[in-house]
Chains A and B, each alone.
Chain A
Amino acid sequence: MDELIKYAPDLLLSFLKNVQIAAVCAVLSLILGTILVSMRVSPTPVLRAAGTVYVNVVRNTPLTLILAFSALGLSDTLGLSFSQTPSTNGFWLVVLGLSAYTATFVCEALRSGINTVPLGQAEAARALGFTFVQSLRMIILPQAFRVVVAPLGSVMIAMMKNTTVAIAAGYLAESAFTMKDIFDDTGVSIPIFLGLIVAFMAVTLPIGFFTGWLAKRLAVT
């Protein structure tokens, strides 16, 4: 228990980095995922193909590979840089990789949501003379989002847990590395491990409950 109290400030600070990464990635992956799903159902075959290829390739690549590649490949070898400060640069590299990865799951969730919107809705929109973009924006996507609130919640929970993989991108300010660092110094500590798990649950469980509640409230009956 003593180790947990001793290292609590470090752990808390590094855990807040995980929360920060997750918050930025949530916004970016939802936007990118919506763009991807619009591409995948669009009338233009080339756009559809580009969306499909992106989703299938990125979704089937291990996140560890994506994050290691964004640090070692994109940043070190090809010279992509967001900031002169290494920790800020690392933060944005993680955000880039994790958002690109999570967006594919957002896209797949939304696509299954679009499949549940009744045919009549799209037909009615077309009968009213809506263009593709109008019907997607005003008729289809709002209903699709309502159906997939709960699955999107699961995607966000998984994303929050995946922020620990940031270590693969050489970003060392977050909690998985802090835990490893403490273990290296003082040996394995069960209270520290349990403390971090509780911290993660304190974020993921409310997301689960909130999206579950929202899904019920928004359910199209």
Chain B
Amino acid sequence: MTQANILFDTPGPRARLRNNALTLVTVVVLAAIAYFVIAEFGAEGQWDGRIWEPFLQSSTWVNFIIPGLLGTLTAAGLAAVFAVVFGAVFGIARLSDHKWIRVPAGAVVEIFRAVPLLLLIFFIFYASPWVFGGGDYTLMAVVAGLTLYNGSVLAEVVRAGIRAVPRGQSEAAYALGLRKTNVMRLVLLPQAVTAMMPAIVSQLVVLLKDTALGYIIAYVDLLNMGFKIIPAVHFGSLIPAAIVIGVIYVGLNMALSGVAVWLERRSRRSRRTSAKPVMASMSMSTGV
């Protein structure tokens, strides 16, 4: 509200009239859109009880939606753990004093950030049987692709987080006689983690959304269940299925985004760190 309020005065009688007229127009336009969608659904037979009914039966949830959700969460969970580890290792490696560590780490991070994620997943998916022999590599390709891409973005977050700790902190630690490793472990990292938590969680939202790419290589996730398997079993249920899984995805992501906002507020007030929070928007990658 505060942001909106600086852009316009408290409305007088004429502005109020104009606002009310605009509200009316907006409501009419929105209602028209809603009517159009509903009518179009009706014309194409999308209000048929038959195609919505499967979502009231527990078997649809037990056999399709919940296994799909588990597939999505498995891929996201594994990739999140690996990506955070990857990000921590490469983020710290990029700050190394040794050029032979710093430069290769920087190259890896920059390259994997620039590669379109889907191409990376395809490549891993097709290269794996060639390297490891036959088998089902869908999960591995999704997890490895997500790890390399999001890990590289997280490496930048980690680097920014460590750099956000004021110089005085490490100088004081060195003055106390601590070695390099201990300065990082005892002084810089604990403060940086608090500062970069919100940005890390925001990136995990991107990661969770990106698991949907598994659909393209036929990994059995929520999207696959909703767009391929449920419509195949219950013929014609594509749109209801799309709406149900869309709601699940949006709900999950909004909940996780909410955690990021909460963490950012907490870290802004926190006295456990002297670093300013690393802004989520700074590392914001649009993701897929």
Contact = CB atoms under 8 A, between A and B. Distances in A.
Interface stretch (A87-95, A162-170, A213-221): A162-170
A135 interface: yes
Q: Which of B30, B46, B212 has the most CB of A within 10 A?
A: B212
B286 A176 contact: no
A204 B285 CA distance: 14
A108 B205 CA distance: 16
Nearest to B6: A122
A158 B158 CA distance: 21
A61 B40 CA distance: 23
Q: Which of A43, A102, A151 has the most CB of B within 10 A?
A: A43
Interface of B is mostly: helix
11 contacts: A41-B7, A43-B7, A44-B22, A61-B209, A64-B215, A136-B7, A164-B119, A175-B119, A188-B130, A193-B123, A200-B114
Q: Which of B44, B210, B245, B288 has the most CB of A within 10 A?
A: B288
Contacts of A63: 209, 212, 287-288
Nearest to A59: B253
Interface in B10-27: 11, 15, 19, 22-23, 26-27
Interface of A: 41-48, 50, 56-57, 60-65, 68-69, 72-73, 76-79, 102, 105, 108-109, 112, 114-115, 119, 122-123, 126, 132, 135-136, 140, 151, 154-155, 158-159, 161-162, 164-165, 167-168, 175-176, 179-180, 183, 187-188, 193, 196-197, 200-201, 204-205
Contacts of B211: 62
Contacts of B15: 43
Nearest to B208: A62
B249 A62 contact: yes
Contact of A61 (B115, B117, B126, B246): B246
A180 to B, nearest CB: 6
A29 to B, nearest CB: 10
A15 to B, nearest CB: 11
Given A176-B122, A204-B114, A60 B3 contact: no
A126 B8 contact: yes
5 nearest CB pairs, A to B = A158-B286, A62-B212, A60-B253, A64-B212, A161-B116
Given A46-B23, A48-B4, A167 B239 contact: no
A73 B249 contact: no
A197 B281 CA distance: 26
Contacts of B116: 161-162, 164, 176, 200
Contact of A73 (B123, B210, B239): B239
B73 to A, nearest CB: 14
Interface string B209-237: 11111011000000100010000000000
A205 B114 contact: yes
Given A114-B3, A176-B119, A62 B286 contact: no
